[in-house]
Amino acid sequence: MRTIMGKVLQAITGSTKRIVGIMAHDFQRVFTNPVAAIIAVGVMVLPSLYAWFNIQASWDPYGSTDNISVAVSNVDEGTVVQGMELNVGKSIVESLAENEQIGWKFVNKEKALAGVRSGKYYAAVVIPEDFSKNMTSVLTPDIERPKIEYYVNEKKNAIAPKITDKGVGVIQQMVNKTFISESVTVIGDVVLGMSEKDKALNRKLVQDISLDKEKEQVDTAIESLQDLEEGMDNLTDTVEAFQATMDALEELSKTINTSFGILKDSVKEVQDQSSNTIQMDALKNLASDTPDSIGNTIGAITTSLNSIYQSLDSIERLVQGNNPAEAIPTLNATKTQLQELVNTNNELIDILKNNTIFYQTPVGSDCVARLEHANSSLNGGIETLDKIIENLQTSTSRDDALKAISQLKETVTTCKEQIADIGTQIETTMNEQVSAAADEAVGNVDAVRKAAESFGGAVPSAQATMDSVSQAMSSLGTSLTSMTKVLQGSKDAIGKGITELEGMKEILEEIEKQKNMNISQAIQNFVLEKFGVDLNDYKNSPETIGEFLSAPVELETHKIFPVANYGSALAPFYSILAMWVGGLILVSIFKCRASTNKYLDISQYRPFELYIGRYLIFMNFGIIQSVIICLGDLYLLKIQCLYPGRFIFVGVVAGIVFSNIIYTLTITFDDVGKAIAVIMLVLQVAGAGGTFPIEVTPGFFNMINPFLPFTHGMNAMRDAVAGLYGHNYAISLLKLFVYFPIFYIFGTVFRTPLIKLNEFFAEHVENTGIM
């Protein structure tokens, strides 16, 4: 017996070592290869992105319904009820403008309907023309129920119509509630209060002792005193404004006196400056220098043109020689010289244009135009030089080049003659204009000197006048101060009179109030005696009754296992789904069958050892994927979770179970096994009740729901998110874990007989060359 037990233990120990060796070998080969290690890290993280993006996208959709556009069009024409205009449609629009549950867009009917058809709006609400009329038809023999037209685009989105239906339901509820409340309020006013006939009788009973006339006289007196008080306020404001003006004038007087002293000094300085003949001579000399400067510039331009002409002669001789290409350097230098000449000519044009006096004369504008024409010709010459250089570089013919050089020489000669003539005109014209301007400036300075002498004599007289004005303003300021005190005293007296009259009015109103109260008491006594109803005991107002009957039942909600937001509620579904997707990614990236290499000889291993040894890497990757998904849910998205540890533990169990199911299917049936895993994914997405209650799905999904791994994984996670109830958490975990031994036994025991059959199918499928 001991020998048998020893052999069993030895076999188990040996198999365990070989299984662990396969796992260690697999991890070593993955993480010692940089590329494989990067792919492995991606495989770990990728499923979590699927979960996180879906949870975040579904975080709070019903809290953002104000982004759903619903068009509202009011074409209600209104109606008239007993002389009162009524437009219920307008009231609905005003109420919706304050409602933020839906993104209401107020447009006309045509735009609303077109927007629904085009998809711009999810729905449209149209209040018809006869809505108010039909609303009040209850007061007529022919009652017509009012209708609100509702158009919805169900093609654009599956969920949006349900949200817009709820929004339109709010409109219907609001209209019904308002109608009931207002109707009951009016009826209550009739029943609990006095009718118009009773009120008329009441007015007749108190007519002889009415105080309306006395109250009207007191009101008239109060209004008169108030008007007088307002006039006193305006007069006071005027006096104060005038006082402020006087203060400002006094400051202005002081400033003017100071300015007179400065003005005297300025006049003296102008007289001194205008008598300085040396400065006048300098002005004349400066005027004569301007034409000379321009003449020097024109002379420099002419010299440059002569130099260019000589360069063209040299170029012409080189082109006529044996090697025309030798002329290219000289052509480039001449081109540069022409460009510099164009720039100088442009500067001269700017100088002449800035001299507006000269430029506005016919001679000035003609000179500028001729200079610009010369510049245009010189720019054409630059282009001609470029063509000559290109011709000499690409062609052996020199006739075109010689012809172009000859034309360019003529252009330079013409420009030289024009610029020389322009220089003569400029010198003559500007000398005449500048000399005349200088003489005029000297004459103006003499006139200024004479005006300064005349003004200097008038300053003392003006200063004496200002002294008199200052004395008069000082006297007027004293008078204004006295007037302000008198006005203030009168205003105080008027205020006291108004206060006394208002006290008298309050006394009259109190007397009339007591009189009316006695009559009301008499009416209440009559009702009590006639009908046995004490109106004093009835405390509810008609408004309170109307509000109660419009909504008699109030819904009080008590949330059991509350969840903060929609994203947290969907986290179990998308997390479990991402873990299954992670298992599919694993079998797509990693090989399920171990193969012989220099480190591993699979012939030395039993089938179950190869199965378990390779599965361990799938299991470890599945656990890591699940932990990353759960940690991201908790600490990146910050979902609501009352028991984070239990939440992560469910993820670990799901990672182990899902990786085992998908691994076993794939290693047993190869690509067919992968397809089965995908089919199971599709069935679980629809049949696990992740989004909609399973009870609202077709009967097939209700039937398979208890047998799906997703169902139990999500139930356990929901307990961790929202709260535990009894042993549901442990039961769901056990139901989820049941799948592990089932597929584990299938992979270690029942898979062995299928190996040869699977290899047979794989060989024939591979022989097709396309599968």
| Ordered mean pLDDT values, 10 residues apiece, the chain (771 residues) | 68 78 82 90 94 93 82 90 79 83 89 92 91 81 85 84 75 67 53 48 48 66 67 64 60 60 56 48 47 69 79 76 72 82 80 72 78 81 80 69 79 81 73 58 54 52 57 58 62 68 65 51 62 60 61 79 92 96 93 70 75 90 96 95 96 96 91 92 92 89 94 96 95 96 87 69 67 57
Q: CA-to-CA distance for 444 and 439, rounded, in angstroms?
A: 9
Q: What is the CATH number of domain 63-192?
A: 3.40.1710
pLDDT of residue 728: 95
Please identify which residue in the block is written with the tokens 């001789």: 317
pLDDT of residue 562: 92
Q: Which residues of 119-129 are buried (b: 16+ CB within 10 A; e: fewer)?
A: ebbbbbbbbbe
Q: What is the CATH number of domain 277-501?
A: 1.20.120
pLDDT of residue 151: 92
Q: CA-to-CA distance for 461 and 263, rounded, in angstroms?
A: 13
Per domain, the residue ranges of the chain are: 14-59+565-767, 63-192, 277-501
pLDDT of residue 639: 95
Say if strands 103-106 and 84-86 run parallel, antiparallel, or are unpaired.
unpaired
Q: Which of 490, 498, 478 is closest to 233 using CA atoms?
A: 490
The Cβ-side half-sphere exposure at 125, using a 13 Å CA radius, reads: 27
pLDDT of residue 213: 64
What's the CA dihedral at 475, 481, 483, 485 to 10 degrees?
Answer: -160
pTM: 0.53
Edge to edge, what strands does the sheet with 69-74 contain?
103-106, 69-74, 123-127, 149-152
**Can you read off the two tokens belonging to residue 21?**
């060796």
Which amino acid is it at 385? L
- What is the DSSP secondary structure assignment for residue 540, as one 8-state letter? -
Whole-number Cα distances in Å, 748 to 587, 674, 751: 18, 18, 6
Q: CA-to-CA distance for 342 and 198, rounded, in angstroms?
A: 107
Q: CA-to-CA distance for 522 and 513, rounded, in angstroms?
A: 15
Q: Which of 512, 515, 578 is closest to 717 using CA atoms?
A: 578
Q: Which helix (H) or strand (E) holds 69?
A: strand 69-74
Give 473's contacts (C-beta < 8 A, 6+ positions apart): 246, 249, 250, 253
pLDDT of residue 596: 63
389: Cα separation from own chain's centroid: 60
Q: How many CB atoms lie within 10 A of CB 366?
A: 12
Q: Are 151 and 123 in contact (CB under 8 A)?
A: yes
Residue 753 phi/psi, 5° resolution? -65, -20
pLDDT of residue 436: 62
pLDDT of residue 690: 87
**Can you read off the two tokens belonging to residue 713?**
């994984």
